[in-house]
Every structure is written in structure tokens, then in C-alpha cells.
């Protein structure tokens, strides 16, 4: 696996090896975060948002072939964790990824799956 996968510089976070060993509070919060991300729907939403930059609920629902209400419900979980944020334009809300670490997390997860042979290497595909 490439050694260049790191926390994005714009996140301003120290590398994992330089951090103190996580305690129970940090482990509990990580577990809650991973539970939020442990949803195929939410992972697909995050990837769609990363690819587009930002999308309204209607466009995101169309992209994922889901009902807008279902998308809205799942987005709320991501907003509650401050993973996604929104801006209003008229009567529409546009959502985007708020945390720069999310993109690296998704990249790392796909890399791990590709390197372990669980997924074919699809780097460079845009479809």
C-alpha cells in the first residue's frame, strides 16, 4: 500500500504516529464516527459530494437513485456529525463535505480494499 496516504495538510492535524495513545473517550468517539460512516448509502453520498463539490438533495437523490426524503434523512446524520455542511440558495439547500479528512478516509478505504484484492483496482475511472 502506498505510504503517501496521510491526513490532508489543510486539516492541520499531527500524523497518527506523533499522537499520544488514544484513551477510552477517543476510542468511544471513533467508534461512534465509524458507526456513522458504516453505511453504504452514506459512503456513496460522500463520494458523490466529493465528485460534484456540492449537490442539492434532489440532485443527490437522482445520482444515487434514491427518494429525496431518504437522502435527506441520511444527510442529517452526516450534518449532525459535522462531516457535511450546507448552504441555502433560495429554497434549496446545497450540501458539501465539511471535513477535509473525509476525502482522505474514503481514499484510504478504497486503497485498502484494492490492495487486499477485495475490489479491482479502478483508479482513474470516472463513471
Q: Which sequence spans correspond to the domains of the chain? A: 22-115
**What fold characterizes domain 22-115?**
Arc Repressor Mutant, subunit A (1.10.10)
Phi, psi of 15 (to 5 degrees): -65, 155
CA 57 to chain centre: 16
What global pTM score does this model have?
Answer: 0.80
pLDDT in tens, the chain (127 residues): 444 555 656 667 788 888 999 999 999 999 999 999 999 999 999 999 999 999 999 999 999 999 999 999 999 999 999 999 999 999 999 999 998 888 888 988 888 888 888 778 766 555 4
Q: All 3 cell numbers of residue 86?
A: 450546507
From CA 119, how far away is CA 112, in angstroms rounded? Answer: 9
Amino acid at each position: 500500500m502506498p505510504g503517501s496516504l496521510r491526513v490532508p495538510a489543510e486539516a492541520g492535524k499531527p500524523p497518527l504516529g506523533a499522537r499520544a495513545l488514544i484513551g477510552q473517550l477517543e476510542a468511544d468517539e471513533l467508534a461512534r464516527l465509524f458507526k456513522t460512516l458504516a453505511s453504504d448509502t452514506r459512503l456513496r453520498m460522500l463520494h458523490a459530494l466529493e465528485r460534484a463539490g456540492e449537490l442539492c438533495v434532489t440532485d443527490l437523490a437522482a445520482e444515487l437513485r434514491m427518494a429525496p426524503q431518504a437522502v435527506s434523512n441520511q444527510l442529517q446524520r452526516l450534518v449532525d456529525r459535522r462531516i457535511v455542511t450546507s448552504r441555502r440558495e433560495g429554497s434549496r439547500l446545497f450540501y458539501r463535505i465539511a471535513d477535509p479528512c473525509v476525502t482522505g478516509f474514503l481514499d484510504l478505504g478504497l486503497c485498502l480494499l484494492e490492495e487486499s484484492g477485495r475490489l479491482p483496482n479502478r483508479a482513474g475511472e470516472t463513471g
